[in-house]
Amino acid sequence: MVRTKEKKGKKTGKTKEKKEEKEAIKASERATAEALTFFDEFCIATLGYTVPVEATLLGEQLYGWPQEKVEKVLSSKESICREEVHQKDHALPAHAHDHEDLKSLQKRLEGIKFLRLGWHLGTIKRDRFEPAHAFALSLTAEGCQKKINFSSQSEEIYRYLKGESLLIDANQQGWHLVTVDNYPLGWGKAVQGQLKNHYPKGLRWL
């Protein structure tokens, strides 16, 4: 009787853990979907189009991979797994998409530090998206609807690099890609005739 109760207790505990794990996964998926909605709204307003990505939300930070690259990786996944499955100790199983296998892979990767989980798109702050510097550098002037271009010889570009706000046309509003001779440099937010500086503090000129 005692052993039966212990078994039932263990089974109930495992069931509860699995339920909590599923709920956590669903909550994470909902948060990521909401973050992607903010990201899409930003892209439409600033770039003029959406950027298809496979995204991961870590806290407030949104990371992503361009979908075309993800599709290439997935298409080659089967051949890669066939090659690696023969390596007994370090192989990624051919059925690695299975949850249990990913879980065991995660355990093997414990202790490894990652600088980033992919392409840093930006930060989710309350009900808005704030773009990352890395996202700005991945764009082109031609591919951005809202942009402000400065000459490399202009006084404004040096002031921008120092972290100063700039006077601009009062009709310009919202996030803008700041470019120098049409090369991406960073972000600025136009508010009532001023371009608020969002160039990273650690990169600013003294």
What percentage of the chain reaches a pLDDT higher than 90?
54
Residue 105 has what pLDDT? 56
pLDDT for position 1 = 55
CA 145 to chain centre: 21
Compute the distance between CA of residue 45 and CA of residue 26 in angstroms, rounded to an integer: 29
What is the CATH code for 143-203? 2.30.130.60
Angle, vertex CA 139, rays to CA 192 and CA 182, nearest 5? 70
Q: Report the C-alpha gap between 89 and 108 in whole angstroms.
A: 11
Summarize pLDDT for 147-181 with one digit per residue, the tens: 999 999 999 999 999 999 999 999 999 999 999 99
Residue of 180, 57, 200 whose CA lies nearest to 133: 200
User: By the 8 A CB rule, do 55 and 63 touch?
Assistant: yes
Contact between residue 176 and residue 147 where contact means Cβ atoms under 8 Å apart: yes
Check whether 197 has a pLDDT greater than 60: yes
The residue extents of the domains of the chain are 25-131, 143-203
- pLDDT (0 to 100) of residue 101: 55
- SS3 (DSSP) at 153: coil
Name every residue whose Cβ is closer than 8 Å to that of residue 71 and which is 6 or more positions away in sequence. Answer: none
Residues 48-81 have pLDDT tens digits of 999 988 888 989 999 998 766 545 544 554 444 4
Average pLDDT over residues 109-117: 70
Q: How far is CA 190 from the centre of its chain?
A: 24
Region at 94 (left for phi over 0; alpha for psi -120 to 50; beta for the rest): alpha
CB-based burial label for 92 (10 Å; 0-12, 13-18, 19+) = middle
Residue 90 has what pLDDT? 45
